[in-house]
Structure 1
Amino acid sequence: MTFIIRPANMDDLQPIYEMAKRTGGGFTNLPPDRKALTAKLERSVAGFSRVEDGVSDDLYVFVLQNTATGEVRGTCQIFGNVGQKWPFYSYRIGALTQHSEELGRTFRADILNLSTDLEGTTEVGGLFLHPGERAGGLGMLIARSRYLFIRNHRARFADRTIAELRGVIDEAGGSPFWDGVAGRFFGMSFQEADEFNAKFGNQFIADLMPKHPVYIAMLPESAKSVIGVPHPSGRAAMRMLENEGFAWENYVDIFDGGPTMTARTDQVRSVREAKDAVVSDISDRLGEHKEGAKMLVSSGRLGSFAAAYGWVLEDGDKVFLDPDSAKALQLSAGETVTYVPRW
């Protein structure tokens, strides 16, 4: 059984919608709304179709497909340049230190500052894997394929890349962070605000959010305890990001308080370590218990891009590839591939 990552098209609306209904809320980039998802797919098709290079407000949506059954079992996204249509807001945790000579004491207060520091960055997000496929490294295949796409279309992406991780959501689908901070000013529940943001953007944040710093010490304990904490289902994603070289630099999501990870694009491990080579031959000598090493392999540009796991044997500036991955990626000898070791 072979899975490939490929660009999404309009025919993928139904399976993406079905996956969106499984997210459990707080997943802004994958709203369970057909109209919003249709708009995303239309924007993605336009992004893949854009011929000229250069950083732009593009969206690229990918799907994970089982080549044996044709079923779509996962999805992910890349935003070329965030903050172009609407401001891209985050909270940045800062500190204010004050000293009293009379008391002989120094006080440090941690503060949430509303920020647009991350505007103009590239964002990787919208990653969802069907619960029935959460094994065999498919989550890593989805996540890392995006970096190979970025590498091979480098002129389209910013010098800094971010990833927002979903924050803690309670059993009722609410957000302790939202209830303790922004919800006090908006008169709507977390679910309502999250749905509105997913459909219409976050300009309403600019209109209604107070611009003054928020002292963390004044927040309820339920909100304080989840600042910068990923949703339990996102802990593995956070580890994968850290393995790629992403770090948390005190930015958190304004809705649920989840951490926003950042990295220099050229220093992302999969971008930095990937290699290009010409396929010397398709060989059945490669595979498990045979020759070669299992790697992430990609080919094609823009709408023809595809990625999959494959068995690769390096031979100088050329490689041998196993038949299954060559078939999945529709490759033959003489074509160029990009590959990076599987970790």
Structure 2
Amino acid sequence: MLVVRPIKPQDYAALYRCAVESGHGFTSLPVDEDLLRRRIARAQEAFAREQVSEPGDEGYLFVMEETDTGEVVGCSAIEAAVGLSDAFYHYRLGTVTHHSKELDIYNALETLTLCNDYTGFSELCTLFLREPFRKNMNGRVLSRFRMLFMAEFRNRFSEVAIAEMRGVSDENGQSPFWGWLQQHFFSMDFTQADYLTGIGEKTFVAELMPQLPIYVKLLPPEAQAVIGQVHDNTRPALKMLQSEGFRCRGYVDIFDAGPTVEAEVSNIKSVRESKRLPIKIGDVAKEQSRFIVCNTQVANFRAAQARLELADDHVVLDAKTAAALQVQNGDNVRFVTLTGAN
């Protein structure tokens, strides 16, 4: 059975393997031992904080584990509030107009402006599922359970959540958009810049990135073509988030120009449609619908997909799932239908 739980120090080797397998452009999971160990320690601190009145610098990092073997098969995370300790950069797409009444010429031109507009927002990030386990809706569970966690612990997160989508890059990790920036402003390749950002070394962005708005039409065609586009491997994740109500509001990544999507947490479909009820442990028929279900604990949080039998004032959960979620008769769980978002 696959269960999502908070990461532990002994999961380091599995997290490192996920970082290696995630490939280029996965900024939030760099192949760096010190940073990965620090992320694990930081997550432990976040889960250990019993009383949190408002979002701060907490980073909640989870793993998906096969309980029968103990194998970690993926990871997923939520940042409570980005940009509080490190600058959080984006390009904002905008429009400027040039108009000559005398010549009867009017041009509306798209621009890219460096900004920190998402500072303080919560972020869904670090979603990676290993290839052999990309089936049986496991990826959907590994992404959407975070919305149940935010629904259950609303005071730990901001009013708006964002997610950065990986932009277009080739099999060697080279980004057409970065190629233009590298040629004119930087002397490093995309993978190096992406890695430095991933480990928190962002000073070079403020020092070298053009500070004035960039006219999109001045970029080479191959760079223009990928602005707001996602990597092929990221399309399923983007589609899922869009079905939850996330939309791009004109912000893109400063390196690969991948889109950032956002949604008010209260309007996220899985948050809005989730329910919280006590459980009764018993037999559940195989024809019952599947749900994403989690307990209501922080440090001992658990989530999984399971079949539930719904009643007005409780849900019936089988004994194996109850044990995996670490709940007993009368304990509350939060749940949402697994097939409610496509």
User: What is the CA deviation profile of residues 35-77 of structure 1, one whole-angstrom value per residue up to 9, with x for unaligned ones?
Assistant: 1101111111111112221211110100000111110000011
Is 1:106 the counterpart of 2:106 in the alignment? yes
- CA contact under 8 A between 2:152 and 2:296: conserved in structure 1? no
Q: CA deviation at 1:287?
A: 3.8
- CA contact under 8 A between 1:164 and 1:258: conserved in structure 2? yes
Mapping for residues 221-232 of structure 1, pairs under 5 Å = 221-232=221-232
Q: Distance in 2 between matches of 1:117 and 1:27?
A: 21
The AA in structure 2 aligned to 1:338 is: R
Is 1:43 the counterpart of 2:39 in the alignment? no
The AA in structure 2 aligned to 1:255 is: F
User: What is the CA deviation profile of residues 169-221 of structure 1, one whole-angstrom value per residue up to 9, with x for unaligned ones?
Assistant: 11221111111135531211111111111123323212221210000000011
Find the counterpart in structure 2 of residue 153 from structure 1: 153
Is 1:288 the counterpart of 2:286 in the alignment? yes
Is 1:328 the counterpart of 2:327 in the alignment? no
Q: Distance in 1 between matches of 2:296 and 2:9?
A: 20
- CA contact under 8 A between 1:310 and 1:324: conserved in structure 2? no
The AA in structure 2 aligned to 1:79 is: E
Find the counterpart in structure 2 of residue 200 from structure 1: 200
Q: 2:313 aligns with which of 306, 314, 317?
A: 317
Find the counterpart in structure 2 of residue 21 from structure 1: 20
Q: CA deviation at 1:17?
A: 0.2
Q: Distance in 1 between matches of 2:182 and 2:85?
A: 22
- CA contact under 8 A between 1:311 and 1:325: conserved in structure 2? no
Unpaired segments of 5 or more residues in structure 1?
none
Find the counterpart in structure 1 of residue 79 from structure 2: 79
SS of structure 2 residue aligned to 1:245 = coil
Q: Distance in 2 between matches of 1:237 and 1:311?
A: 24
Q: Distance in 2 between matches of 1:315 and 1:288?
A: 16
TM-align CA RMSD: 1.2
Unpaired segments of 5 or more residues in structure 2?
none
Q: Distance in 1 between matches of 2:187 and 2:224?
A: 21
Q: 1:340 aligns with which of 325, 336, 339?
A: 336
The AA in structure 1 aligned to 2:41 is: E
Q: Distance in 2 between matches of 1:91 and 1:287?
A: 51
Residues 203 and 266 of structure 1, relative CA distance in 2, 3 Å threshold: farther
Find the counterpart in structure 2 of residue 236 from structure 1: 236
Q: Distance in 2 between matches of 1:324 and 1:218?
A: 60
The AA in structure 2 aligned to 1:64 is: M
- CA contact under 8 A between 1:167 and 1:257: conserved in structure 2? yes
Aligned residues: 338
Q: Distance in 2 between matches of 1:46 and 1:142?
A: 22
Q: Distance in 1 between matches of 2:85 and 2:207?
A: 15
The AA in structure 2 aligned to 1:234 is: T
Q: Distance in 2 between matches of 1:183 and 1:63?
A: 39
Is 1:210 the counterpart of 2:206 in the alignment? no
- CA contact under 8 A between 1:27 and 1:166: conserved in structure 2? yes
Residues 273 and 63 of structure 1, relative CA distance in 2, 3 Å threshold: same
The AA in structure 2 aligned to 1:315 is: A
Q: CA deviation at 1:334?
A: 1.1
- CA contact under 8 A between 1:180 and 1:222: conserved in structure 2? no
Q: Distance in 1 between matches of 2:323 and 2:42?
A: 29
